[in-house]
Amino acid sequence: MLSEIVFYVNDRKTVFSGNPLTRLIDVLREDLHLTGVKEGCGEGECGACSVIKDGKLVTSCIIPVGAVNGSHIYTIEGIRDTDKGKCLVDAFAEGGAVQCGFCIPGMVMAAYALLEENPTPSEEEIRKGISGNICRCTGYDLIVESIKLASEKGGELWAK
């Protein structure tokens, strides 16, 4: 069963012709070559494949591409060069929150979604905001501190 699914990835119109049950992560990585989206667990539990779909953080490994017809998807590649994305990437680097880098795109996406909703989160709110993302290298303290740093340094960016 082939379908034509039209959606937007990083503000670019995308047309996928194929099985609507194909996972979104596979379309992003294999068809669109957006390899910042990582596959960790394949079950929606680790957050490595996190993207923003219509303003909400989702795990792309459990979403069939047919479910994104008409949607707007943002990946790490779509936000990293924006002012907000640069703020986050710089804060993660400055805060020492990067080790192997596997989880970082998903963590940045989670932080982005959090700061979009709450520009000045408390430590508890940050921890809750990234709770769907697993990091096996740094622990979470440096990541939490880096998100707090991005909130402080980019205050006016997130307030918009």
Return the structure tokens found at 91. 């804060």
pLDDT at 158: 82
Q: Strand, coil or helix: what is 66? A: helix
Q: Strand, coil or helix: what is 41? A: coil
Return the structure tokens found at 42. 């394949």
pLDDT tens by residue, 119-158: 999 999 999 999 988 888 877 899 999 999 999 988 788 8
Q: Is 122 left (phi over 0), alpha (psi -120 to 50) or beta?
A: beta
Rounded to whole angstroms, the Cα distance separating 141 from 160 reads: 27
| pTM beyond 0.75 | yes
Return the structure tokens found at 6. 């039209």
Contact partners, residue 58, CB within 8 Å, separation at least 6? 50, 51, 52
